[in-house]
Amino acid sequence: MEMNASDRDLVEVMKQYFAVKVEVEDVKSRLEAARRESGKEIDEFYNPRTNIDHAAEILRSYSLKQELARLMDWAEAWGRQRLAPDSA
């Protein structure tokens, strides 16, 4: 199977997606461990306005999740484009 530039772009986007996904899981794991240790409820702990100690990491988590969504949106758009009938 031959790959064109568009296919290679998709491969790169998916590599980024899975790298970001690993980072999301790492941040989530650290935050959840800190939350359990603190004894705080989820909604209280994950509020960056009131949890100053972990605010940067909470915001990083949100940012990473947005990046995952952006990358997946790109991949879905690629798929729709590939499935669309030729307009020629």
Q: From CA 13, how far away is CA 76, in angstroms rounded?
A: 11
pLDDT at res. 81:
87
Q: From CA 68, how far away is CA 62, in angstroms rounded?
A: 10
Mean of the per-residue pLDDT values of the chain: 93
**For 37-69, how does the pLDDT look when each residue is reduced to its tens digit (9 = 90+)?**
999 999 999 999 999 999 999 999 999 999 999
pLDDT at res. 88:
44
Under the banding of pLDDT at 50, 70 and 90, the label for residue 87 is very low
**For 11-33, how does the pLDDT look when each residue is reduced to its tens digit (9 = 90+)?**
999 999 999 999 999 999 999 99
DSSP string for 22-74: HHHHHHHHHHHHHHHHHT--HHHHT-TTT-GGGHHHHHHHHHHHHHHHHHHHH
pTM for the structure as a whole: 0.82
CA 72 to chain CA centroid, nearest Å: 9
Under the banding of pLDDT at 50, 70 and 90, the label for residue 7 is confident
Q: From CA 31, how far away is CA 4, in angstroms rounded?
A: 41
